[in-house]
Amino acid sequence: MNHRAIRAIYLFEMARTWRTLLQSIVSPVVSTSLYFVVFGAAIGSRISQVEGVSYGTFIVPGLIMLSVLTQSIANASFGIYFPKFTGTIYEILSAPISYFEIVIGYVGAAATKSIILGLIILATAGLFVPLHIHHPVWMLAFLVLTAVTFSLFGFIIGIWADGFEKLQMIPMLVVTPLTFLGGSFYSIDMLPPAWRSIALLNPVVYLISGFRWSFYEIADVSIAVSVGMTLAFLVICLVVIWWIFRTGYRLKN
């Protein structure tokens, strides 16, 4: 195991985060605060409680997930796409480092960044609404699992993309709609039965449901199904990454 190489990549990526602090941390925090002001205070005050929780409090886990998902994908995809774009990837590919170690470095840094971001948003939310976390360990577990899984997904997008447009396409056209329709702002029980069945095809529903359960013990689907679905997505991403490195797809050909 070339642990020094993992450390080098990890620290390099984290250094990029600190260099772009405003863009990396401050802007997601500001936009999330705006959500609280609009949905929590302005509109939320006119919405009745959802399953015994005030609306402003109810949307906290969904909002954190929204940021963690999008930031994980953005961080990891940019992290690996940029060296491809500038050409500095040559050094990573010619170093005595395994694919697994490359992934740990890049995905580890991307996930770390979005976990930190998730916790900052959680703390920000505490300023707006009263919060009580029933299962803090599960909450952290879901946070880490989601950050890692979607950083892996972002890594795949970063390898696949051969232009900045493609880099933006999946997050914009697929992930954001899935997150908004995945129950960030509502319980899928609030949907008509037909839409409810369709919503269950959305993988993000399971992430948000499980995460919300760790806060308030209210969930759209059972916690076991949530964990199972997240792990399944993790495994799919790992298999795709294994295939990418085995074939050298978009990297070595």
Partner 1 sequence: MPLNGLFSDHFSPGNCGAASAFLFQGSADLPIRTGPALPLPQPFSLAAIMPSIISVANLSKTYGSGFKALKNVNLDIKRGEIFALLGPNGAGKTTLISIICGIANPSEGRVLVGGEDIQTSYRKARSLIGLVPQELHTDAFESVWATVSFSRGLFGKPKNPAHIEKVLKDLSLWDKKDNKIITLSGGMKRRVMIAKALSHEPQILFLDEPTAGVDVELRKGMWEVVRGLQQSGVTIILTTHYIEEAEEMADRIGVINKGEIVLVEDKTTLMQKLGRKRLTLHLQNKVTSLPESLAHYELELCDEGATLVYDYDTQGERTGITSLLGDLRTAGIRFNDLDTTQSSLEDIFVDLVRTS
Binding site for partner 1 (CB under 8 A): 2, 4-5, 7-9, 11-12, 15, 19, 86-88, 90-98, 248, 252-253
Query: What is the Cα–Cα distance from 62 to 182, expressed in whole angstroms?
Result: 9
Given the complex with partner 1, which of 136 and 248 has the nearer CB atom?
Answer: 248
State the nearest-atom distance from the C-beta of 6 to partner 1, in Å: 9
State the nearest-atom distance from the C-beta of 113 to partner 1, in Å: 17
> What region does 52 belong to: left with phi over 0, alpha with psi -120 to 50, or beta?
left
Given the complex with partner 1, which of 102 and 175 has the nearer CB atom?
Answer: 102
State the nearest-atom distance from the C-beta of 105 to partner 1, in Å: 9
Given the complex with partner 1, which of 160 and 180 has the nearer CB atom?
Answer: 160
Question: Quick one: DSSP state of residue 220?
Answer: S
Query: What is the Cα–Cα distance from 185 to 58, expressed in whole angstroms?
Result: 8
Given the complex with partner 1, which of 20 and 45 has the nearer CB atom?
Answer: 20
Given the complex with partner 1, which of 22 and 224 has the nearer CB atom?
Answer: 22
State the nearest-atom distance from the C-beta of 70 to partner 1, in Å: 24
What DSSP line would sit under 97-160, residue for residue?
A: --HHHHHHHHHHHHHHHHHHHHHHHHHHHHHHS----S-HHHHHHHHHHHHHHHHHHHHHHHHH
State the nearest-atom distance from the C-beta of 3 to partner 1, in Å: 8
Query: What is the Cα–Cα distance from 87 to 70, expressed in whole angstroms?
Result: 25
